[in-house]
Amino acid sequence: MTATTTRTRRSVGNRSAATDLTDTTPPSPALGSTPGAPTPPPLGDDLLAVLTRMRLPYLRKAAPEVLAVARAQRWDPAEVLRVLIAEEITGRDAATRRMRRKNAGLPAGKTFESWREADSSIPPGTQSGLASLEWIHRAENLAIAGPSGTGKSHFVEAIADKVIDAGMRVAWFTLESLTATIGRAAVDGSVARTIARITRAELIVVDDIGMLPAGQAAGEAFYRLVDAAYERRSLAVTSNIHPSGFDTLMPKTLATATVDRLLHHAHVVLTEGNSLRLSEATAGRGVMPLT
């Protein structure tokens, strides 16, 4: 079993917002025209019908303005085509990201915009390396263990948000919700199909392991997922217990087999310190002031 373990120390500095890696097309020169400019003429009914039939909603929406500017500036026809297709691609990419965020089930909408690097005990270099997402492209795993309130879930959710921005998929579970999902699938004999669907995501998260009692069913569900994802997909787990102690949560045989696969290609990060939530509460920053 090989695992890289990073013992954490308090760091200084703030992380900037994560960059959207998928919106690489520059804004169309036709869009965002001068305020007060005349409204471009609508498309003809025959052209609208064709674009609707071809299922090009974003091109259809942008076309009147693009064509008006193209006529005024005497664009080359190839440029008109390039801009219109770019609008369709940009719109579809944005819609895909919205759908993947919804399907991922991210719990709180946490991103790197709200992540406070200075308050985290995860070393800045480790944060930057994990935020690069290179480990996900290599189908490596991440295990973050430490006391409650030390930013484990926030950091992993920020990574998950960035994974979606990079054009990949995320599946988010707690151990309890994963157990319930596999349990429902067992009733109709669809466990294999359910696991296959979950492992289509490039990043699969199991959050807050150890917060509630587990048992045989939870151990079996977790093992099935880890085994199916092994060396194929990246798993990120957060827990108040180091993975080596998962045998206190589930049957030892299952825990041993699960942890062996989980940690074989894993980055293990240990957080420490007091609860950031409790610190905010005692400092009066947990609520808006009453007026």
* Cα 218 to Cα 96: distance, rounded to the nearest angstrom: 32
Lowest mean pLDDT among 42-51, 124-133, 147-156: 42-51
Beta bridge pairs of residue 266: 3, 141
Better-predicted residue by pLDDT, 19 or 4: 4
- 18's tokens: 């994560």
Give the pLDDT score at 159: 96
Give the pLDDT score at 272: 87
Task: Indicate if the alpha-carbon torsion angle 208, 19, 141, 117 is positive or negative.
Answer: negative
Helix, strand or coil, per DSSP, at residue 124: helix
Lowest mean pLDDT among 149-158, 195-204, 281-290: 281-290
The average pLDDT across 203-220 equals 91
* Cα 86 to Cα 88: distance, rounded to the nearest angstrom: 5
Cα distances (Å, whole numbers) of residue 15 to 23, 117, 128, 214: 21, 6, 9, 35
Give the pLDDT score at 191: 96
Q: Which residue has the tokens 């948000």?
A: 161
Contacts 24+ apart (CB under 8 A), 255-258: 255/219, 257/223, 257/227, 258/219, 258/222, 258/223, 258/226, 258/227
Q: Is the pLDDT of residue 94 over 90?
A: no
The average pLDDT across 61-72 equals 91
Lowest mean pLDDT among 8-12, 47-51, 97-101, 251-255: 8-12
pTM of the model: 0.72
Give the pLDDT score at 3: 47
